Structure 1
Amino acid sequence: MALLWVFGVFLMFLFRASALTAPTILADPDEVSNLTSATLTCNLTDPPSAIKGHYWTKNGKEIVTTRVESQATHTEYNLPKIDHNNGGKYACVFISTEEFSKTIEVKTPPHVSAYKHSEHGNEKDVGKLTCVSHSYPLPNDWTWYLISNGEKTPIVNGTEKFEIESTPEKTILQVFNLDMEKDMGDYMCFGQNEFGMASDKIHLRVRSRFAALWPFLGIVVEVIILIAIIFIYEKRRKPDEITDDDDSGSAPLKSNSSTNHKEKNVRQRNSN
């Protein structure tokens, strides 16, 4: 029992000693939400040894421009504009015999963007529409709507026609057995977090199953027309060439006959 008591006292001593030497970082503000700008501030108290420097991180990655060699126990990071691009987990880090940090969350309303604002698919195939978010915190709920005649109709997940697959970062709507008359149109994705809701629109075009053949058929038609033009041209050109050949061939024959006749007359005169 005595040994256990001594061991317990020793542990308590170590705990108090560590509590006394552990530095405290006061952040102001502790959390940023629904603000258009902010200055993040950290103050370090009771450092175990001299401070060698400090820097800031965002989502675990160092913001390189913030690293400073200094013995100061105070640091600031300015956010002149807060939107979905710079929301996240920021941390001030002080460098001493070891590193000490404090996290400040910068939260923003959700931001939703269509991966493509125009998608297309062929009849009877499956259409895929995708929306993504890069805000912090990410949406905790996704919903889809079909816009018809200016009215939004909610899309029910898990039917023969629709299936929705969602993660905090993105949502995918699959439309099965595409129909040109029923499925073509505008779709809207909505993402929601604790600070609000955002949406974006995607236009879905549905083509005939034979649409993919049109380029090939166009090439075939062009080849047929080209062959027909060449055939007609050759057919018209050949008679002219034959006439030219006959004319050029007959001329030498006439010339030879005239020459032979003259030579015969000369011989007859000489003999006389």
Structure 2
Amino acid sequence: MRLSALQPLLLVPIFCGILSVASPGITTNTAGPEMTADAPVHNEEDLYNFTREEHNISIAGLSTKDNKKDIVINDTLHLKLVCYLVVDSKDLQINVSWRHGGEKISSNLYAYNNTGYQWNTTYEFVVTDINKTGDYTCIFSSVTEVKGTFSLQVPLVYGGSKGLVTYNGDSVALKCHTNTHNPQRWLWYKVMENELVALNLSSDSKRYKELSKKGNETNLSITDLSESDSGDYVCKAEFKNVESEGRVHIVVLSYMVPLKVFLVIAGEVAILVAVILVYEFMSKKKQNQEDDKKDYEPMSQLKSEDSSLAEAGTTRQRKA
């Protein structure tokens, strides 16, 4: 009797326990700020497993011009970007936001606060690939708006600034380099129909040879050139998680091209010489004609005078 009397009491907590297991989605937690689809998600351990760098921008007042700082990235890096704003009033209402390029960064990914006359905001993330480079901008908005921009860049690769001109059958050496950063490896491509085609740089390659691998420099030799080798060549520097590239343009000409140019120039020179000779001949002929005319006029005048004198003498004789 006692056991049967206790059965209803025992069933109540068991039934409640079953309900709690069957309904795991019912919680008392409230949802936080909405995250963007491409927001980098890292726990504290992830952030501190990488080399850490901190970069700061200080802005003096809301009337200050925008500030910019360049940061070169060549490896996976934990970055801490901090913007400071110093104002002259404690009562200002200031909104703080961050943007990556043209995209707004979710507010749950950065922190901000103010202490008296100074505001600061911090954004921490890990640069894992080239998509994480670009401009990161902190924005302080009140009556006016000021910005601080961190420009994350890969190391620049310098190729030929001017095109190289060579001829059929010749050889050429293409060069690319970075200023200070040494890539893990260099790769060379030929641009064909807007696509990159990798060049064969193996030891058995007959036409392409990489002459040196001097850390931050690469040299590519191409032999037995033909006109089909004309175009753009891309030198790509691969770092740990980012890459950068430069371009070199070459033009391969047939020997007939300079010969044609020479023949055209020679023809133009010959025509010019002929014109000059004709002009001189005509000028000389005209000059001779003028000289003959000048010589003829005094002789005519003398003959006229002689004739007049003879007529006068004849007249005198008749009068006598």
Give the alignment's TM-score, normalised by structure 1.
0.55
Instruction: Work out the number of aligned pairs and report it.
Output: 179
Q: Pick from 184, 191, 201: which aligns with 2:230?
A: 184
Deviation at residue 255 of structure 1 after TM alignment:
1.9
**Distance of aligned partners of 1:267 and 1:139 in 2 relative to their CA distance in 1, 3 Å threshold:** same
- Residue 38 (str. 1) matches residue 83 (str. 2): no
**Distance of aligned partners of 1:226 and 1:142 in 2 relative to their CA distance in 1, 3 Å threshold:** same
Deviations 1:75-109 (A, max 9, x none): xxxx9542269xxxxxxxxxxxxxxxxxxxxxx85
CA-based RMSD of the aligned residues comes to 3.3
2:72 corresponding residue in structure 1: 83
Contact kept, 8 Å, 1:110 with 1:196, in 2: the verdict is no
Contact kept, 8 Å, 2:186 with 2:236, in 1: the verdict is yes
Contact kept, 8 Å, 1:109 with 1:135, in 2: the verdict is no
Distance across 1 between alignment mates of 2:187 and 2:206:
18
1:261 corresponding residue in structure 2: 307
**Distance of aligned partners of 1:32 and 1:209 in 2 relative to their CA distance in 1, 3 Å threshold:** farther
1:14 corresponding residue in structure 2: none
Distance across 2 between alignment mates of 1:204 and 1:233:
45
Contact kept, 8 Å, 1:116 with 1:130, in 2: the verdict is no
SS of match in other structure, 2:189: strand
Give the 4+ runs in structure 1 shifted more than 6 A: none
Deviation at residue 124 of structure 1 after TM alignment:
1.0
Deviation at residue 221 of structure 1 after TM alignment:
2.8
Q: Pick from 176, 198, 209: which aligns with 1:131?
A: 176
Calculate percent identity across the aligned residue pairs.
22
Contact kept, 8 Å, 2:160 with 2:249, in 1: the verdict is no
Contact kept, 8 Å, 2:72 with 2:155, in 1: the verdict is no
**Distance of aligned partners of 1:129 and 1:248 in 2 relative to their CA distance in 1, 3 Å threshold:** same
Deviation at residue 227 of structure 1 after TM alignment:
1.0
Contact kept, 8 Å, 1:110 with 1:195, in 2: the verdict is no
SS of match in other structure, 1:131: strand
Contact kept, 8 Å, 1:110 with 1:139, in 2: the verdict is no
Distance across 2 between alignment mates of 1:124 and 1:232:
44
- Residue 143 (str. 1) matches residue 187 (str. 2): yes
Distance across 1 between alignment mates of 2:313 and 2:69:
122
- Residue 152 (str. 1) matches residue 196 (str. 2): yes
Structure 2: which amino acid aligns with 1:144?
Answer: W
Contact kept, 8 Å, 1:32 with 1:38, in 2: the verdict is no
Contact kept, 8 Å, 1:109 with 1:193, in 2: the verdict is no
Distance across 2 between alignment mates of 1:252 and 1:241:
18
Unaligned runs of 5+ in 2: 1-47, 57-67, 75-152
